[in-house]
Amino acid sequence: MRVGIPRAMLYHHYGEYWLQFLETVGVEAVVSEETTGNTITTGAVHADNETCLPVKVFSGHMLWLKERVDVVLVPRVVSEEYGMCACPKFMGLPDLARSLTPDMPPVLAPRLDMGDRRYLWAREWYDTARALGGSWLSSVSAVSGLLQNLYHHHKSLVDESYEKGGLRVGVAGHVYNVYDSRVSMGMLDRIRKLGATPVTIDEVQHNNALANARTLSREIFWGFESKLAGSVLHWSRTASVSGILYVTSFACGPGSMVGALLEDQLDRERSVPLMTITLDEHAAEAGLVTRLEAFVDMLKYASRAHATPSADGASGGA
């Protein structure tokens, strides 16, 4: 039995846990290849035009897996945080996967709902393990391991002891956008080549991010966006970065709403500079490079101006 997992969207959050689950059950896991231009083009052709870029990338990975696996695992993520919900696209992802082509392999869609503290949804993962041919013991072990991994997902301590000095740029975006080098067009490496250090939201303590997100004038009900917004405010209020890049996708509803909230909040707090970068399948590398160069150059200039004493200050000290 070959079980496919698309290397897209929530794979970048929970992929290692899903792979461990399948390994414990005793089936072969097949992860789609890294995103390419063809992946995006194929996905954009088959997906609905109104969907965001991550969904189109996901569709491309699903089509890559179509002829290579017996079934595909696409969990239905309802919530990753108590009291919050996931973006609707995560909840409908299995249905979208099934509708891509008539000859799509069966899609297994056990729920993942961390908002349910009774973990009633774990039964669906047990049933999935059994459907894949797992024994009672291996199925129970696989579900137990998954629950432990998910419980500790936000509990691990993150090192926020940033070194002083140097230019640091906060990159606030979903990990499936930021860490997919084809989707982000190598954004993190480009920032490093410009002489700055990129800092991502997974380097911020989860509790710190949520605490800052609660200070916004509007409550954010989406778990991923709440962590993202809170991380931006944490960077700003602790002065741990010189500037922030807010990375979102074209046609992302939650992303556009959170972006507007952050722009307003940082403007009122007279905080660090923030620039929004919107990704879609038509984005060109030249445009991204130009904007990154201009942004980093501005931060470098501001840093030098802040470090250089004024003429009046110099003469007064004499």
Q: What is the pLDDT along the chain (318 residues), one digit of tens a residue?
A: 899 999 999 899 899 999 999 999 999 999 999 999 999 999 998 888 778 899 999 999 999 999 999 999 999 999 888 888 888 888 899 999 999 999 999 999 999 998 888 889 999 999 999 999 999 999 999 999 999 998 887 665 455 555 555 799 999 999 899 999 899 999 999 999 999 999 999 889 888 998 998 888 888 888 888 999 999 999 999 989 999 999 988 878 777 888 888 888 888 888 889 999 988 887 778 888 999 999 999 998 887 776 665 545 544 443
For domain 2-151, the CATH architecture is 3-Layer(aba) Sandwich (3.40)
pTM for this one? 0.86
2-151 matches 168-307 in fold? yes
Ordered by start, the domain boundaries in the chain are 2-151, 168-307
CA distance 240 to 208: 13
Look up the CATH architecture of domain 168-307. 3-Layer(aba) Sandwich (3.40)
Question: Could you tell me where the DSSP H helices lie in the chain?
Answer: 11-25, 37-46, 53-65, 88-91, 93-98, 122-131, 136-151, 175-178, 187-193, 206-213, 223-238, 253-268, 285-307, 311-317
Burial of 163 (0-12, 13-18, 19+ CB in 10 A): exposed
